[in-house]
Amino acid sequence: MHQLLSKTRYATVHGLRSDHTFNKTQAKLHQRLFFSHDNLKTVSLHYSQVLPAYHDVWRKEQEQSGLSTKLLHQLPDATAAQIIHMQNARENHGLRSTLFMSRYDLAVHRPTTRAALESIDLAALFNSIRKSTTRCLGTLDFDDSESLGFAVFRLIMANVDAGYYTQLLSEVFACDLAGVMFPEGMSGLALEEVRTRGMRYRKVVLEPGASRSEMDILRDFWGRNPSVDTFSAAV
């Protein structure tokens, strides 16, 4: 979406040329806004409504199983609520995992000499930080010295370099953007009001691309400096 809606004079500052954290923030925001009760019901559609043939197959299967052929065209309220609950649980689990990886990333980049780095027991460090952050036992707690989880953390050497914490930062910014756009939530808002607020987000945040400082763009939209209050309330 950022790539499509950006309007810049030069291609070198268009769309996704922005900082990775800034681009990640937009993706997190769209995901956060989508998982609302009204939005889930609006986009939902039973597969039997796609084609008449699908409906015939579904009806036949229902009758053969002795089930009701009364069709709900949208998700029931209880199902939408369950999906949102599961998404929130998945997000909270993911945040703990991201915090753990961020702490490990910073820890292995802290030594100032090669000798200091080589003296670190990476497996023990990985295990300790995982347990203290996620409250989950690590592989070393089961005397499995050959299971080295840190060895598959490839992002630590993929242009992230002590910057994995920005994954969490993008979550904070996304929550703050959503809180400014829809402080009262999206439920019950008139379509025209949603469109007006969305257009302001498009003009202020998406259109400049990388032609301006990302933090200046966000400050203009917020009308203030970033805050962790909305994120803290969400988790």
Q: Which of 162, 190, 214 is the last residue of a domain?
A: 162
Mean pLDDT estimate for the chain: 86
Answer yes or no: is 182 within a domain. yes
120 and 150 co-located in one domain: yes
141 and 117 co-located in one domain: yes
Answer yes or no: is 93 within a domain. yes
Angle of the 77-108 helix axis to the 122-134 helix axis, nearest 10: 140
Range of the domain at 81: 77-162
User: Which pTM was predicted?
Assistant: 0.78
Task: In whole angstroms, give the CA distance from residue 14 to residue 206.
Answer: 10
* Location of structure tokens 């499509």: 4
134 and 191 co-located in one domain: no
Q: Which has the closest alpha carbon to 69: 80, 53, 54, 58?
A: 58
Q: Which of 162, 192, 212 is the last residue of a domain?
A: 162
145 and 98 co-located in one domain: yes
pLDDT by residue (tens digit) across 67-92? 888 877 788 888 888 998 898 888 88
The distance of Cα 129 from the centroid of its chain, to the nearest Å, equals: 23
pLDDT by residue (tens digit) across 198-214? 999 999 999 998 999 99
In Å, what is the CA distance from 58 to each residue of 8, 43, 50, 53, 72? 49, 20, 11, 9, 13
